[in-house]
């Protein structure tokens, strides 16, 4: 039997988004909180809670030149917005001044579960 990976079973979807925005030239350092503030404006189209509070953002990295890298997931690999969500997140982050580049990658490990949600998200969805 041939070994299979999760990707073998997923529909052909764009799993990343990358865009260069500005040249770095003594720009103000972007903070993680600035990125989180923008992420909290992006909502799951099927659940009235933002992606950050849903626990869908796994990693936010910002280097010294304001290149931002985000690893995120979805509640389900067959989510109908899987092909567009990395771009939606990337465009939200692009609104921050002094971003040099943004890369958003859709990852599936670890698998998302309800325990990853913030208390605010659980309260909004009546999950406790």
119, 31 Cβ separation under 8 angstroms: no
Sign of CA dihedral 87, 88, 93, 96: positive
| Fold classified for 12-115 | GMP Synthetase; Chain A, domain 3 (3.30.300)
Q: What is the pLDDT of residue 63?
A: 95
What tokens does 16 get? Answer: 């990343």
pLDDT tens-digit map of 92-103: 999 999 999 999
Q: What is the pLDDT of residue 116?
A: 95
Average pLDDT, the chain: 87
> What are the start-end ranges of the E strands in 21-85?
57-62, 67-72
Q: What is the pLDDT of residue 77?
A: 81
More confident residue, 38 or 124: 38
Strand 67-72 versus strand 57-62 pairing type: antiparallel
Compute the average pLDDT of residues 106-116: 93
In this structure, the number of other CB atoms found within 10 A of the CB of residue 63 comes to: 13
Considering the entire predicted model, what is its pTM?
A: 0.83
Query: Is 52's pLDDT higher than 70?
Result: yes
Q: What is the pLDDT of residue 82?
A: 78
């Amino acid at each position: 039997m041939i070994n299979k990976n999760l990707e073998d079973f997923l529909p052909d979807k764009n799993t990343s988004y990358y865009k260069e925005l500005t040249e770095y030239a003594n720009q103000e350092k972007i903070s993680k909180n600035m990125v989180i503030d923008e992420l909290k404006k992006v909502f799951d189209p099927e659940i009235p809670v933002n992606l950050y509070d849903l626990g869908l953002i796994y990693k936010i990295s910002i280097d010294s030149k304001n290149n931002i890298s985000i690893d995120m997931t979805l509640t389900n690999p067959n989510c109908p917005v899987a092909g567009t969500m990395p771009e939606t997140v990337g465009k939200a982050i692009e609104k921050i001044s002094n971003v040099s580049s943004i890369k958003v990658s859709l990852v599936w490990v670890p698998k998302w579960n309800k325990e990853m949600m913030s208390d605010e998200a659980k309260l909004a969805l009546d999950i406790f």
